[in-house]
Structure 1
Amino acid sequence: MDSNSCPQSGLCKSLSLKVCIGCSSFMVDRSVLAENCEYFRALFQSGMRESLQDEIQLRCVGVLGFLILLQVLDGERPVLNSDEIVEAIECTAFLQAPALTKHLINIINSENCLLMYHTAATFGVWTLSHSSALFIRDLYPDLQGDVHTLPQTLVDYIKSLQPSSYMAVCSHSPSSELLPDPQRTVCYLDETSKDWKVLTHLPANTSTTMAGVAVLDNKLYIMGGVHDVSKKVVESGFCYCPAANTWSSISGPQQLRYNFPLIGHEGCLYALGGESNMKSLSSVERFRMSEGSWSFVASLPCPAASVVTAVTMNRIFICLWRGQGATDIHEYIPEQDQWQLVSTLVRQHSYGLCMVAHKDNLYVMRNGPCEDFLQCVMDRYNLSSSQWTAMSGQYGNSKSSLFTAVVRGDSVFTLSRQATTEFTVEEQAWRLKRQMKGFGRTGSIYTFLMRLPKTRASDMGTSVDKIHNQVLRDDRPCPRLTLQCSDHL
């Protein structure tokens, strides 16, 4: 039988498409193209002659850009040079490929952000253009000279955006209605005055003691936490919207838990492990904002509380300490709902562990071994090369500072009572960039980034120290706060 007349052969032929670009050709699954590219989806549904052909000629896309698209659709995460970035942006602009646009957003960094911004604006890839502009805004003082080589309209758009602010909130139990605590505040670093200022007060029934704290879509979420030493868990969660300056309630995880990390990622909150009734948990729950409900997903590889986490290049990583000097790094793959072991670091330390991410690097920080436990040392794991590197130098008696580290652009902000320190991330070390006023509060501290509206950032002027000193001077019962869950300040 002639192969062309074989029903199975004809079926196979209809499922594939030969895409020709210049002298190059690619055999691609039609369903993959239809699912991931609006151009092909519209073409296949158009009823035109081209929609029925087994071969199509693309004239507005380069070979390099299309190759990168195929890599991304195959699950790869290619690192791109300047020429590849331009070709990829041209490809996603013409073919309307969200997966490729998302990959480009995920690899924005200080070396390529200006190119990304200008090229994306030129081709009308607005989500990429906006994401690049936000990244540039955070690095504006360091990139200011280069930014002004851009067209003025693009410069003006960058200036219209607000940079991310370094934020902090201390560990607080719910306050008494009769004696509220005026220090129960969410604060931000005013980098102009180099001082900490109050943004908002926590609602009376919110606990940040052993709670999960995360930012998602520029809103602050606080989940769980305990009332007191009994470790009775606060069942409701709370959300703060800086744009509206309001607090609202949100349902807490199905499993009451405390001492757990909360991660905001792609429209979802993840509550990882933690404790319940003084027992460690391995369960993980995900709250989809679009659905408004919690559901269980793949459990942690083992029960764990105070799980160390980091998100970079749109990927979720955790650090699990398993004793005898071994620390495992796992990645959560949402599409497959599973945890994968990435690497294991073997280093002795007495207590304390933290992890932050910059570009394609994970930085694992720990205090030194027992004889040198005040020293904070770091190891870097490169995701692209799968290699560990011991970072040069130690960071003095700054353990508590580095263990609340947050990355913004090429900077790492750290915090202690004595000083707020900004480091510049370099290849082999973190270089001290500047120091500002310390936070001046005791207890555990949660730190994170948020973009504050210009009116809020300029209107809020109460210093953290001013509130603290006022409390120390005033021996009368504190006045009752009127702030409720949805009130304005």
Structure 2
Amino acid sequence: MESNSCADLEVNTGKAICQPTSFVKVRFGESVFMVDKGLLEQHCEYFRALFRSGMKECLQDEICLKAPSACGFLVTLQVLHGERPILNRDEIVEAIQCAAFLQVETLTEHLINIVNSDNCLLMYHTSAIFGLLKLFESTALFIRDMYEDLKEDVKCLPEDLIEHVEALIPSTYVTVGTHSPTIKLLQDFMRTVCYLDEDENDWKVLTHLPLNASTTMAGVAVLDNKIYIVGGVYDVSNKVVDSGFCYDAFTDTWSTFSSPQQLRYNCTLVGHDGNLYVIGGEYDKTIMSSVEKYKVSTDTWTFAAHLPRPAAAVTCTKTMSRLFICLWRPKDATEIYEYVGNKDKWELTTTLVRHQSYGHWMVAHRDNLYVMRNGPSDDFLRCMIDCYNLTTGQWTAMPGQYENSKGALFTAVVRGDSVFTVNRRATVEYAIEDKWRTKKELTGFPRIGTRWTFLLRLPKKSRESLEKKNSGPEIYSLPSNSLQCQD
């Protein structure tokens, strides 16, 4: 992000704020902006409609606007030119008004990306006033996820806005262990996806995996509140399951979808920008660099830009609408790359050089990337954390060491301003901005092996406790191309 303040805006009649090669003047009182007409037409619904209306304004070289403000328009131009400005409270209000009035999707996305516990109530209330629906819903969900921390501050909101937040479904911590396909007669009752009931401090069964599904060396990800599984294997021979599986949390049903063009296991799956990406992995004992993108609406896979080098079990995280991966270079370097979708390209962001930097995991919070690694001195029960700030481009070593018994910190997931980690002994919530201070400790997940952790919004439903013995297996039928859970 780049800092700015509208207080620094130079106001002079007729003085240009920027000097593009082809431009139109946009005037707010005494402030005049010289703006690329094509830029406005591409990103602003208001100007697109104006320039294509046939009205006399579309032929003029100067457009006068009484609303929104010059400050809000300045922020808009910064975002449209690829900047990520840090905004104070006044600038947030001006930017929201501008995004709503000019209908600037890119600015709305930037506002969503910078929502935090300090500004979420302001953004929520202001977006309600100006009717910026996408930001309104996003901030409402953020507040719902952090309601326990914000409930006293929420009381300052109008009653109808409070009721809207309280009616929303909060994110729930969900995990699934390593399981191979089975048959009905040998149904493993433990082949379940589970969620943490934080009120009862108990892990409960969300759903049973379909008989043909495998999470062993698979890619597991969430997109649009649905779980996707790609590329699991059957057994030690590493025969790849040739179908993908999808669980819809709202309908409580499973379905199947096509596999990537290149079958793979030990791969990474991530939902990003409305698509699924399967990254790297192995096939026939060969590590691959290929990446494929899945478009859900058409059930089609296409190849994306290859990784800079072959890699399996790639560590991946998302933040600020950006996708990042870690690639390890033995023994002392970890490289972070960003996938730039509009260029279909992996770009090197930074390199971390640390002795024994292997065994890493990565999570993101706002503009910070946190890289966990084993250490010190081959101590796999302790974990060191390094933080890379995308705004400053600087690395910071987090103070102290963090307990990593049985890989807890290598299954971390962020919700609001907290990060959850899980192992057999405990599920721990850390306050990220308070130097990863332990916030609370809940019951552990009583399973061995690799775990995938993620967040889902689950409709309220009575679920069985993980500790309770199942009365019998759930039966899955496979009509045509879908899997339906039957009671």
Same fold per superposition (TM over 0.5): yes
Q: Is the 8 A contact 2:364 2:414 kept in 1?
A: yes
Matches within 5 A, 1:270-309: 270-309=277-316
Q: How far apart, CA to CA, are the structure 2 residues paired with 1:71 and 1:146?
A: 31
SS of the residue corresponding to residue 475 of structure 2 reads: coil
Q: Distance in 1 between matches of 2:467 and 2:332?
A: 40
Q: Quote the Cα distance in structure 2 between the aligned partners of 1:238 and 1:212.
A: 11
Residue aligned with 1:466, SS: coil
Corresponding residue number in structure 2 for 1:486:
484
Q: CA deviation at 1:397?
A: 4.4
User: How far apart, in 2, do the equivalents of 1:184 and 1:126 lie?
Assistant: 40
State the 1:162 CA deviation.
0.8
Distance 2:356 2:375 in 1: 5
Shift of 1:487: 2.5
Q: 1:245·1:488 contact (CA, 8 Å) conserved in 2? A: no
Tell me the CA shift for residue 149 of structure 1. 0.4
- The one-letter code matched in structure 2 to 1:189 is L
Matches within 5 A, 1:71-470: 71-349=78-356, 351-398=358-405, 400-427=407-434, 429-454=435-460, 456=461, 459-460=462-463, 462-467=464-469
2:118 partner SS = coil
Query: What is the SS of the residue equivalent to 2:63?
Result: strand
> 1:182 deviation in Å?
0.8
User: Is residue 178–residue 480 contact of structure 1 (8 Å, CA) maintained in 2?
Assistant: no
How far off its partner does 1:372 sit? 2.9
Could you tell me which residue of structure 2 aligns to residue 474 of structure 1? none
Q: Deviations over 1:103-156 (max 9, x none)?
A: 111111111111110110110001100000000000000000001100000000
1:186 Cα deviation after fit: 0.6
Q: CA deviation at 1:399?
A: 5.3
Distance 1:423 1:93 in 2: 36
Q: Distance in 1 between matches of 2:408 and 2:34?
A: 54
Question: Is the CA contact (8 Å cut-off) linking 1:376 and 1:399 kept in structure 2?
Answer: no
Deviations 1:243-283 (A, max 9, x none): 11110111111110111111101210000001111111100
Answer with 197-206 or 393-402: which moved more: 393-402
Letter in 2 for 1:206: A
Letter in structure 1 aligned against 2:416: G
TM-score normalized by the length of structure 1 = 0.92
Q: Is 2:145–2:416's contact at 8 Å kept on the other side of the alignment?
A: yes
SS in 2 for 1:426: helix
State how far apart, in whole Å, the 2-side matches of 1:84 and 1:157 are: 25
Question: What is the alpha-carbon distance in structure 2 between the residues aligned to residue 187 and residue 119 of structure 1?
Answer: 37
Contact 2:72 2:94 in 1 (8 A): yes
The change in CA–CA distance for 1:42 and 1:185 in structure 2 (over 3 A counts) is same
Q: Does structure 1 retain, via aligned residues, the 8 Å contact 2:246–2:254?
A: yes
| Preserved contact between residue 175 and residue 453 of structure 2 (Cα < 8 Å) | yes
Q: Distance in 2 between matches of 1:289 and 1:481?
A: 27
Partner residue of 2:42?
A: 35
* 1:5 corresponding residue in structure 2: none
- Secondary structure of the residue aligned to 1:90 is helix
Helix, strand or coil at the partner of 1:27: strand
Query: What TM-score do the two structures reach when normalised by structure 2?
Result: 0.93
Unaligned residue ranges in structure 1 (runs of 5+): 1-11, 471-477
Letter in 2 for 1:486: Q
Q: CA deviation at 1:15?
A: 5.0
Q: Residue 375 of structure 1 contacts residue 399 of structure 1 at CA under 8 Å; is this kept in 2?
A: no
Distance in 1, Cα, partners of 2:404 & 2:252: 37
Q: For residues 72 and 439 of structure 2, what CA distance do their matches in structure 1 show?
A: 38
- Name the % identity: 58
Q: Can you list the C-alpha shifts for 1:221-258, whole angstroms capped at 9, x where unaligned?
A: 11111011000001110111111111011111111011
Decide whether the 8 Å contact of 2:380 with 2:404 is kept in 1.
Answer: no
CA RMSD in angstroms, aligned pairs only? 1.7
Structure 2: stretches of 5+ with no match in the other structure: 1-18, 478-482
Distance 2:370 2:362 in 1: 5
Contact 1:356 1:363 in 2 (8 A): yes
Please state whether the residue corresponding to 1:101 is helix, strand or coil: helix
Contact 1:213 1:221 in 2 (8 A): yes
8 Å Cα contact 1:180/1:479 also seen in 2: no
| Partner Cα distance (1:92, 1:479) in 2 | 54
Quick check: 2:20–2:34 contact (8 Å CA) kept in 1?
A: no
On the 8 A contact 1:367/1:399 being kept in 2, the answer is no
Q: Is the 8 A contact 2:184 2:475 kept in 1?
A: no
Alpha-carbon shift at residue 292 of structure 1 (Å): 2.4
Secondary structure (helix, strand or coil) at the match of 2:241 reads coil
1:21 lines up with 2:28 in the alignment: yes
Deviates more, 1:223-232 or 1:361-370: 361-370
Instruction: Output the CA distance in 2 between the equivalents of 1:370 and 1:109.
Output: 37
Q: What is the SS of the residue equivalent to 1:378?
A: strand
AA partner of residue 198 (structure 2):
E
Q: Which amino acid aligns with 1:401?
A: A
CA distance in 1 between partners of 2:118 and 2:286 (Å): 46
Aligned equivalents of 1:425 and 1:439: distance in 2? 22
Question: Given residue 128 of structure 1, which amino acid in structure 2 is its aligned partner?
Answer: L
